[in-house]
Structure formats: C-alpha cells, structure tokens
Amino acid sequence: MSAGKRGALIIFEGCDRSGKTTQSRLLVELLKSKGIPALPMNFPERSSSIGQVINSYLTNSKDLKDEVIHLMFSANRWEHMNQMKQKLLEGHTLVVDRYSFSGVAYSSAKGLDFDWCYAPERGLIKPDAVFYLRAPPNDLTNRGQYGEERYEKVEFQSRVAKVFDRLCANEASYWHQFDASQPVDELHARIASITEELLPTVATQPLDTL
C-alpha cells in the first residue's frame, strides 16, 4: 500500500436477518482475493466489557432503561474508534456489520427522540458507503433463527425499517439501498461493483466525522 492511501469505511445496515452478515463476508472475501487489504468488523462488538453488557441485554438476561442501553451501544462504537482510524489510515478497508444507524433506528423505534439518538454518534468516523439491505419485515421471519433475540419481532422491525428509510433519505449522498430479497450472488455483484469504484476515490480523501 503506497503512503497516504487510506482504506474505505463500508457499513452494512438493515433489519435483523436482512442478509448483512452474508453480504459483508462475501465482500471481504472478494476484496482479499484481489489483494486489497480488508477487515471484517461487527457492531455490537460483544467481547469488551461494554459488549458483554450489551450481549446480556440482547439475550434478555439483563434489563436496562432504553436511554442507558442506547448510550452503551454508542460507547461500544466509541471504544473501537482509535483502532478503526489506525486501520483505515494504514490502508485497510473495514467492512462493518452495523454502525451508528442501527443505534438511531433501534432506539428511535422504541420512541426515543431521533436527534437525541443521533447525538452520541456525532464525531464517530463517517462511513464512505452504507449498504442498506431493505426488505419488508414480514419476509424476514422466514429466515433462520428469527425471534431469538430481544428485537426480533415483526412489529418492532417494521418500525426500525421506517427509521432506516428516513436515514437513507437524509444521508442519500453515501447510502445505497438494495432489495434484500434478490438472489445473494446478484446482490453481491452490485455491492462489489460500487465498492470497487469507491476505493480509489476515497483513498486520497481525509477521514470525516458523522
């Protein structure tokens, strides 16, 4: 990697079971196969002490006030920012399964104020692209394991989807919306082509913040 060329911050967002995990894995594999340094990441990152509290909350073994868990999800992103910045500046492209927008979408869906939800995300590294995998929540219940964790209820997921739609409209300059019900390989091909166009463009741009 030549000096001064940074990697891209690429985020996958969408409701539970929308295919983010599969698509982010395929994208990392493709980039690596082309010799492009790429690292997978996942939020919430459940291994830190904050991440372990989040995991207990999601698996319903712990209850926390909506505001408290919101700030913990945000703190979980903040605790990884230095490491992410360093990796990006070293030339790694980060492919991340969920980010700040899940924070806004899931907490707004509970009724918390949109701007209040967004506030703790301000200052985090701004993604170069968000790939929003959009699907009607009714379609998602047919996919594996739906319903095991706290938020995996159709009615709640439809409210989450509405907030993602709003974010997608607000942040249209770097959001790319896809129909999540299309075949995995077709979706991957679309995502791959946008990513390959994006990488040389952002390589010389400074990192920005949300």
What is the token pair recorded at 205? 């741009």
Is 188 near ligand DGP (CB under 6 A)? no
Q: Which stretch binds ligand DGP (CB under 6 A): 94-102, 167-175, 177-185, 195-203?
A: 94-102
Residue 45 contact, options Na ion, ligand DGP, none, Cβ 5-8 Å cut-off depending on partner type = none
**Distance, CA of 40 to CA of 23 (rounded, Å):** 11
Does 51 contact ligand DGP by CB under 6 A?
no
Paired tokens of 107: 């907490």
Enumerate residues 6+ apart whose C-beta is below 8 A from 132. 13, 14, 164, 168, 175, 176, 177, 178
Tell me if 106 contacts ligand DGP by CB under 6 A: yes
Burial label for 198, CB within 10 Å (0-12, 13-18, 19+), is middle
Q: Binding mask 5-24 vs ligand DGP (x if CB under 6 A, - otherwise)? A: -----------x--------
Query: 114 vs 151, which CB is nearer to ligand DGP?
Result: 151
Least distance to ligand DGP from the beta carbon of 35, Å? 28
Single-letter code of the amino acid located at 200: P
> Considering only 33-41, 66-74, 172-180, 196-204, which stretch makes contact with ligand DGP by CB under 6 A?
66-74
Q: Which of 80, 87, 92, 98 binds ligand DGP (CB under 6 A)?
A: 98
Pick the piece of the chain touching ligand DGP (CB under 6 A) from 22-30, 88-96, 100-108, 139-147: 100-108
- Contact with ligand DGP (CB under 6 A): which of 18, 93, 107, 108? 107
Q: Is the preceding omega at residue 206 within 30 degrees of 0, hence cis?
A: no
Rounded to 5°, the CA angle 126-130-132 comes to 150
CA dihedral 131, 112, 52, 133 (to 10 degrees): -20
Binding site for ligand DGP (CB under 6 A): 16, 43-44, 58, 69-70, 73, 97-98, 102-103, 106-107, 149, 151
